[in-house]
Every structure is written in structure tokens, then in C-alpha cells.
Amino acid sequence: MKYVVITLCLLTVAIATSSFHTVKNPAQWICKATFTGSQVIKLRLEATIDKGWFVYSSNNNQEYSPTPASLTFSQSDLYKPLGKLESIGANKKYQSAFGVNTESFRNRGVLEQKVRLLKPTKVVKGVLSYIACTEKEGICTFKEVPFSASLK
């Protein structure tokens, strides 16, 4: 009986620890910048999202749904964001857990942000924050990924 209890305890610990695996990063992001005016650039962040995962867009209302994707720019007197972060091609879906429609990306995602250059600079930097979740298990993870866009 003693061996059965020990075996069951070890099995329980093994199952519990395997279910708490750490996800490195379910989305791989690249950042590009293009000039749209003399002192305005458009940042374009493109994600390739792992199979079985989705990423919430920037268009979700934080009050009623998951935290939307967002950009935080490095403290700088060289540039400032113009307008809001735009999600391009996000899919709308009703989620009963929140009681609202949410927007998310599957397979591929695109976020765009206009930025005004206040002084000459060669790079724009910051952090992209987002939530990614698995389709089947409903496991979600909050990610903060640094981004950098060279200006030429």
C-alpha cells in the first residue's frame, strides 16, 4: 500500500509539472518602418503565429475583454506616436466568457502605428505587449517583446 501511495504521489507531481510548461513565444514579430510624410513614419509589426495559437488585437476594449495589444515607446524626445495602434485583418469572434465580440489574429497578424519624428533619429524603439492563447486548452500568456525599427 505504501508503494501505491508513493507511486500515485510521484505520478501526480509529474503530471502537474508537465502541465505548467513555459511557452517561449507563440508569435514571432518583425518590425519595419516606412516614411509616409516628411516627418511621419508608419511602423508595421508583422507576426507569424504558431499553429494552435491566436493573438488578441489592439481593437479590444480592455474594460470588457482581454487586454488589447499595445506599444510602449522608449522614453525619447526624438519621436511620438500619432493616433492609435491599428490592427489590420483581425478576425471578430463572440466570446461568451467576456460576453462581447473580440478581435484576434490566427497564423498571421499585422499592427500599424504612425509616429511623428521630432528630431533626426536612426531608430525607433519600444515594447510590444500582447496576449496569446491556445485554441483548444484556453491557456493564455502575456508577452512583452522589444521592437526596433531602423530609419533610412
Let me know if residue 40 belongs to a domain.
yes
Q: Which ranges in the chain belong to alpha helices (H)?
A: 2-19
Query: Looking at the 3D structure of the chain, how many domains does it have?
Result: 1
Would the pTM count as exceeding 0.85? no
Let me know if residue 14 belongs to a domain.
no
Let me know if residue 39 belongs to a domain.
yes
* Per-residue pLDDT reduced to its tens digit, 94-131: 887 778 888 999 999 999 999 999 999 999 999 999 99
Q: Give the count of alpha carbons within 13 A of 60, CB side only.
A: 28
CATH code, domain with 50? 2.60.40.1250
**Residue 6 contacts by C-beta under 8 Å, 6 or more apart in sequence?**
none
Range of the domain at 129: 23-150
Let me know if residue 7 belongs to a domain.
no
- Give the length of the chain: 152
Signed CA dihedral, 42, 104, 133, 107: sign only: negative
